[in-house]
């Protein structure tokens, strides 16, 4: 473990060997443990502005998913499954937590959170599942199959045209407005550097496949002891499947869907507003 000092709080970093990989993680702040499972290609630093805004109220735990940035694979190129990601989150919480943790899962991270709640509900007190990219949550099989095909089509676009072709299509699929309307000022830049490009490549090729082939955990979600709070972005179009998946989740577990500022990526475009909303939701 190493410790560094940031402008907001002290950050502790560590490496955790797991089955088939080594996970890099960061902890910052004081208070109840809050695990943030990131969206998309995001690594531990993706939500740095949100973590800064939360560090006075929570001990925030973030990590690089296996295959991203500093979380290395023992056998690069081997398939990465949703079960791998769930086991990683389980082992990470077992390593750092001394009781049930709070969890914010965004997009891909929300899918990990739902599986974690289904399999290891005793580890998670409350999960906020923001716009899970989970075709299996959609009620109609035809809709589920359609969005699995949509993910496969996005993979094909990346294979033939690379990120310049795939990224606009992914944004449209998830209802992301690249103009980021209403984004808060003074955000930490997230440049499209070599590491981020590599993370996107891994996300689209390996992790989209994990999403497409994920059978889900619908039947186990009703029995978990974890309090699950489905969430969507205020500006996310109601027609996109991540928005619909959140509402299907709410219907499945009988829980009202809560609304967060911004859209699908509101955790990065509206971090201060999100922090205020999280404090109010997790500490009413």
Band (5; pLDDT cuts 50, 70, 90) = very low
pLDDT band at 3 (very low <50, low <70, confident <90, very high): very low
Write out the two tokens for 28.
Answer: 């910052």
Better pLDDT: 284 or 181? 181
pLDDT at 6: 45
User: How do residues 242-257 score in pLDDT, each as one tens digit?
Assistant: 999 999 999 999 999 9
The whole-number pLDDT of residue 1 equals: 55
Q: Is residue 2 pLDDT above 60, yes or no? A: no
Cβ neighbors of 185 (< 8 A, separation 6 or more) are: none
The domain locations on the chain are 2-282
Extract the tokens encoding 137: 């949550």
Q: What percent of the chain has pLDDT over 70?
A: 96
Burial classification of residue 114, based on how many CB atoms lie within 10 Å of its CB (0-12 exposed, 13-18 middle, 19 or more buried): buried
The answer on pLDDT for 8 being more than 60 is no
Mean of all residue pLDDT scores within the chain: 95
pLDDT digits (tens, 9 = 90+) for 89-114: 999 999 999 999 999 999 999 999 99
Q: 2-282 has which fold?
A: Rossmann fold (3.40.50)
pLDDT in tens, 69-93: 999 999 998 899 999 999 999 999 9
Which token pair is 272?
Answer: 């201060």
pLDDT at 133: 97
What was the pLDDT predicted at 284?
61
Output the pTM of the full model.
0.95
Q: 140 burial class (0-12, 13-18, 19+ CB within 10 angstroms)?
A: exposed
Could you give the CA distance from residue 275 to residue 46 in angstroms, rounded to a whole number?
15
pLDDT digits (tens, 9 = 90+) for 165-209: 999 999 999 999 988 889 999 999 999 999 999 999 999 999 999
Q: Characterize 230-246 residue by residue with b for buried, 16 or more Cβ atoms within 10 angstroms of its Cβ, and e for exposed.
A: bbbbebbeeebbbbbbb
């Amino acid at each position: 473990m190493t410790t560094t000092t940031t402008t907001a709080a002290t950050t502790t970093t560590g490496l955790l060997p797991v089955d088939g990989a080594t996970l890099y993680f960061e902890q910052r702040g004081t208070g109840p443990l809050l695990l943030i499972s990131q969206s998309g290609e995001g690594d531990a630093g993706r939500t740095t502005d949100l973590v800064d805004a939360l560090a006075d109220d929570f001990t925030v735990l973030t990590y690089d998913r296996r295959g991203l940035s500093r979380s290395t694979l023992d056998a690069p190129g081997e398939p990465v499954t949703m079960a791998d990601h769930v086991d990683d989150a389980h082992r990470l919480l077992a390593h750092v937590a001394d009781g049930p943790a709070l969890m914010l899962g965004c997009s891909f991270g929300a899918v990990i959170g739902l599986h974690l709640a289904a399999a290891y509900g005793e580890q998670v007190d409350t999960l906020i599942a923001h716009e899970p990219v989970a075709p299996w949550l959609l009620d109609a099989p035809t809709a589920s199959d359609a969005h699995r095909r949509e993910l496969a089509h996005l993979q094909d676009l990346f294979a033939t045209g690379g990120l310049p072709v795939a990224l606009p299509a992914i944004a449209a699929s998830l209802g992301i407005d690249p103009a980021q309307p209403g984004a808060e000022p003074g955000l930490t830049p997230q440049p499209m550097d070599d590491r981020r490009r590599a993370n996107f490549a891994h996300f689209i090729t390996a992790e989209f496949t994990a999403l497409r082939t994920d059978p889900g955990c619908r039947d186990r979600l009703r029995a978990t002891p974890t309090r699950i709070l489905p969430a969507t972005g205020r500006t996310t179009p109601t027609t996109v499947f991540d928005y619909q998946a959140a509402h299907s989740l709410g219907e499945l577990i009988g829980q009202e869907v809560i609304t967060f500022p911004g859209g699908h990526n509101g955790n990065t475009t509206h971090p201060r507003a999100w922090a205020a909303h999280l404090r109010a939701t997790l500490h009413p």
